[in-house]
Amino acid sequence: VLGWTDDVAQRHVDIALAHPIKLIANALGSPPVDVIERAHEHGVKVAALAGKAVHAQRHVNNGVDIIIAQGYEAGGHTGEIATMVLVPEVVDAVAPVPVLAAGGIGSGRQIAAGLALGAQGVWLGSLWLTTAESDSSPAVLKSYLDATSADTVRSRCYTGKPARMVRNAWTDAWDPANGPGALGMPLQNILTSEANARIARSGRADLAFAPVGQIVGRMNEVRSVRDVMFQLVEEYIETVERLDAGVQA
Ligand SMILES: Cc1cc2nc3c(=O)[nH]c(=O)nc-3n(C[C@H](O)[C@H](O)[C@H](O)COP(=O)(O)O)c2cc1C
């Protein structure tokens, strides 16, 4: 809860800028203009997530360097427009500002698709959650490995804003169809943070907060980041060669 106050967030920025970083990325709106200016003074570029073209334009007006066009499929806080539709809209809205495609990318074929939509690169979140290097708890890891692409839901139960996660008894309980629904941000987190800490300690996978995108359906085994990266690159090259062969023929 405290992480969402300006005072604490500013101290996070201080710590980040004390390290040799290249990028600060921000979700749920543009970073404050003073944060963008401080990052630029340190030679650090600033990226921001956008779920609509209008968000992307606002980021550019505020001085953001890189737009991450993140579709509905994504894990965590996400909007209502699918990556396939969103990326070209954002690319056209902010050109020549560089855009990264995000949401539902978990293979080399999907990287090629993101680039084909006009993005300069791609941005992955969910796929790292089942790597050997991830700090997912055993209960949450199991829920990722077992889930199909149909098993996620956009729920307000954790922060009060819609975020995609594995559907379970806790997300169902906060569904407005089953009761009063969640409070807005930040009240929902204040209301439930102690319960969430107890649930995390209990190891109950049927209640645990397990944020992840629809690509979870393809995350069926634990692999190292190294193996995942090699497979992404190899499949991307195969895909581009296959498409190129189609053009040549
Ligand atoms: C567990 C989790 C936590 C995330 N937290 C943040 C965050 O704090 N800030 C942010 O900018 N994006 C956050 N994201 C979104 C990612 O940066 C990324 O845009 C998204 O995961 C891409 O879609 P994908 O999940 O389909 O790969 C989070 C995503 C996940 C899965």
Token output for 47: 């990226």
Predicted local distance difference test score (pLDDT) of residue 1: 64
Ligand 1 close to Cβ of residue 49 (< 6 A): yes
| Nearest CA-CA partner of 1 in 186, 238, 241 | 186
pLDDT tens across 199-247, in order? Answer: 999 989 899 999 999 999 999 999 999 999 999 999 999 999 999 999 8
Tokens 């698709």 locate to 113
User: Closest residue (by CA) to atom 10 of ligand 1?
Assistant: 27
Q: Model's pTM, two decimal places?
A: 0.95
Ligand 1 close to Cβ of residue 114 (< 6 A): no
User: Closest residue (by CA) to atom 21 of ligand 1?
Assistant: 125
Show the low-confidence residues of the chain (pLDDT under 50): none
User: Closest residue (by CA) to atom 9 of ligand 1?
Assistant: 27
Predicted local distance difference test score (pLDDT) of residue 97: 98
Residue 107 phi/psi, 5° resolution? -150, 165
Dist. CA 115–CA 98, nearest whole Å? 11
User: Closest residue (by CA) to atom 12 of ligand 1?
Assistant: 27
Ligand 1 close to Cβ of residue 123 (< 6 A): yes
